[in-house]
Amino acid sequence: MTQPARRRSQGSGRGGRPATLTPERIVAAAVEVLDAEGLEALTMRRLGAQLGVAAMSLYRHIPNRDALLAEVVTHLFSEAVVELEVTGPWPEALPRFAAAYRGMLLAHPHAVPLLATHPVDTETGLALLTGLLDRFAASGVSHQDALTVIQSVAVYVLGHALAQVGTPPGTEGPAPVADPDATAFYDRWFETGLLAMVSGFEGQLAGQRARH
């Protein structure tokens, strides 16, 4: 039968026209356009052009634009966290995570509003952070508390990045060639706030332990 069967192929069943497009290629191209021309420029037609394909062809691989943006978010977050060295006690590992996350956000400034709008899927996020969670467990911190600490820091990092890439430069163009003074200011602010948070949590958890 020739049922509708619209949307979504079954992966790589034999037969059929060979695919030039894959979800991965689409996401990668989306990041390219995003970095080069900003979020507003990331239209379906523009993305098709980047891939040498018509806009509608994309819909064979993604349900809609919003889902694509969600994929981009997941991709970028993974990119930041995957190559993260999680060793040592949590008060050392946690700032490394924060720095890696922030590094990714500043490397893709146009993506920051996206991360704010399309939160990383909870399941996926947790899966990517098991290594970090282990560092808390190793110090006897409960899963619940570890989650609060990590999420608080993540939320701070994203909020900080939003403030940094918020308005200063234009909202487009390849590289605004950041003002080094402003960069230093944001860097110092970031470190100060992060340190306050981490040491605050250290004190909190220590006190809790003592009171066990």
Partner DNA sequence: CTCAGTTTGCGTACATCGTAAGCTTACGAT
Partner DNA sequence: ATCGTAAGCTTACGATGTACGCAAACTGAG
For a second copy, the binding residues (CB under 8 A) are 113, 116-117, 119, 148-149, 151-152, 154-160, 162-163, 166-167, 188-189, 192-193, 195-201, 203-204
CA–CA dist 200, 153 (Å, integer): 12
Burial track 104-142 (b if 16+ CB lie within 10 A, e otherwise): bbbebbbbbbbbeebebeeeebeebbeebbebbeeeebe
* Smallest separation (angstroms) from a second copy to the CB of 110: 12
CA–CA dist 95, 185 (Å, integer): 18
Kindly tell me the burial class for residue 26, based on how many C-beta atoms sit within 10 Å of its own C-beta (0-12, 13-18, 19 or more). Answer: buried
* Smallest separation (angstroms) from a second copy to the CB of 83: 24
Window contacting DNA (CB under 7 A); options: 61-69, 96-104, 170-178, 191-199: 61-69
Window contacting DNA (CB under 7 A); options: 64-72, 102-110, 130-138, 181-189: 64-72
Identified binder of DNA from the candidate list 36, 49, 55, 106, rule CB under 7 A = 55
Please count the CA atoms within 13 angstroms of the CA of 136 that sit on its side-chain side: 20
Please count the CA atoms within 13 angstroms of the CA of 30 that sit on its side-chain side: 27
Quick one: how far is CA 78 from the chain centroid?
Answer: 7
Contacts to DNA from residues 1-30, by CB under 7 A: 1-2, 5, 9-10, 13-21
Window contacting DNA (CB under 7 A); options: 46-54, 105-113, 182-190, 198-206: 46-54
User: Using CB distances below 5 to 8 A depending on partner kind, what does residue 176 bind out of DNA, a second copy, none?
Assistant: none
Give the interface with DNA as residue ranges (CB under 7 A).
Answer: 1-2, 5, 9-10, 13-21, 42-46, 48, 53-57, 59-61, 64-66
